[in-house]
Structure 1
């Protein structure tokens, strides 16, 4: 597993050596018949199970052109070079620009663990994030409940975008990133709170018979963790989840790293959260800003895609194996991250 502490320390070094100056306030605050129906349900469940077997984002499939893992990885690296190996190029492109850091939590700031309630970051990791935030506006963008992630990170000078960006709050004790007396507070899915709470309770009851399944209410979305569920039980789990959601057409089912996620159908994701925060900071139309997003999950692809669409910024995927991604750079082995 990639050494996550070394990755973050490397990132802190990557963007602070030679290019960073103490931060000045940038201004701004921030779907017949029964048989046909059954076949469709089975086909849908099978598709989900196949997807669940893959890591997140989806791993690059081997082909005749890339018969070996080594050749496959080398080919992938050409298109997604190590952010550390490209240090000089990145530094050169960042000169004269305000860097804004966006960090996923699970798998990026903390290791992936079996019990999501114990995804703690180390004190060294916290210190590294604090160092990054000294120089650049920094946001934690996560699928977790904002309050839960704050209890893990415990740094007041950051922006926290929980529930995949549906619950955003800015620094409340620091005036470096804001103008006025209130930090950013944005909740585009507030009307879904009662529905999410209801679905969470139903899911908890329905999944009790599936050993290892864990339901986590993340306020504006519900996560069903299956990392500890035997694969032979995945079909049962998917069937239960999809059956419940059939009664809630305003909610949708998505997938992350060893987790099924129920979210509102609104057009909002980590990419939209990134855009919102840049606008709140006053950088929406600036040519002098360099957004940097680091993440490891399928849900982070929305943010990587947003950066590509802007034609501005760096997406960095944390992965030791080739995966389909919109990120431009990668961080893979601990040896590449140690400096």
Structure 2
């Protein structure tokens, strides 16, 4: 419905909040993108409506490429669930330790061993950052002194990773090295909600990894676990074209997400 307002599109959730899910990415959605990932934080003006949404809606969760504990630190709200490392770990409301699939746990040591071997002097000199996400290892080049050279060096790592039997996944200035098993936000969402019958759900994301989350909502609909699904993209200077193509609607940056949360409370 290209002429529909965001309030119109959210109406099915507002009609049955106790049977609806609100699912949100973190970086670029709740928290603005920053050059140093450790500096990311969700503004208080967004946190306040998110708290109210968590009180009103049946399921509220953050779905992030970061570790679940890092996502919770940024959002600073313990009453909601966090799917970390693209859904491969779940930190449930009020708990301390995340849950991880046993098959993924078995791959963790192999992924991290490869990543640490690959993270040699060249990448350190380029100031590429290595992030440990348990079963996933990520190489970030956002904000390095020479992003073009950094990307070229990381492409060599990607070739070696694939030759070694791992799966590579490219995001916005990040390469992830993953085990050859399904890890994506869609699988994480299906795992979280597979036993819940929902009237409606919305997912809000800003990157190519969020396309998997969009498809996860479709999978829940096919299984008869979800009625209405709304896929919202967040526009930025780096918006992937595929996101705009697959989203039902777009909002403008993190300010647009804050307005969406407020609209859920009308």
TM-score interval (norm. to shorter): 0.7 to 0.9
> Judging changes above 3 Å, is the alpha-carbon distance between structure 1 residues 115 and 336 closer, same or farther for their aligned structure 2 residues?
closer
* Higher RCO, Cα 8 Å, sep 6+: 1
Q: Secondary structure at the match of 2:42?
A: coil
Superposed displacement of residue 209, structure 1: 4.5
> Judging changes above 3 Å, is the alpha-carbon distance between structure 1 residues 131 and 94 closer, same or farther for their aligned structure 2 residues?
closer
Q: Which runs of 5+ in 2 are unaligned?
A: 223-227
Native 8 Å contact 1:94 1:290 kept in 2: no
The number of residue pairs the alignment matches comes to: 245
Superposed displacement of residue 135, structure 1: 1.2
- 1:53-82: CA deviation from partner (whole Å, max 9, x where unpaired): xxxxxxxxxxxxxxxxxxxxxxxxx75x67
The one of 69, 75, 88 equivalent to 2:8 is: 88
- Paired residue for 1:270? 185
Q: Secondary structure at the match of 2:232?
A: strand
- Is the counterpart of residue 151 in structure 1 residue 73 in structure 2? yes
Deviation >4 Å, runs of 4+:
333-339
- Paired residue for 1:261? 176
The one of 94, 105, 119 equivalent to 1:190 is: 105
- Paired residue for 2:52? 131
- 1:247-267: CA deviation from partner (whole Å, max 9, x where unpaired): 631x21111112111112212
Q: Which runs of 5+ in 1 are unaligned?
A: 1-77, 174-181
Q: Secondary structure at the match of 1:193?
A: helix
Q: What TM-score do you get using the length of structure 2 for normalisation? A: 0.80
Backbone CA RMSD of aligned residues: 2.9
In 2, distance between residues paired with 1:239 and 1:94?
A: 45
Q: Which has the larger radius of gyration?
A: 1
Q: How does 1:173-322 map to 2 (within 5 A)?
A: 185-187=99-101, 188-229=103-144, 230-234=146-150, 236-246=152-162, 248-249=164-165, 251-279=166-194, 282-283=195-196, 286=197, 288-309=198-219, 310=221, 312-320=228-236
Superposed displacement of residue 125, structure 1: 2.6
> Judging changes above 3 Å, is the alpha-carbon distance between structure 1 residues 243 and 210 closer, same or farther for their aligned structure 2 residues?
farther
> Judging changes above 3 Å, is the alpha-carbon distance between structure 1 residues 166 and 253 closer, same or farther for their aligned structure 2 residues?
same
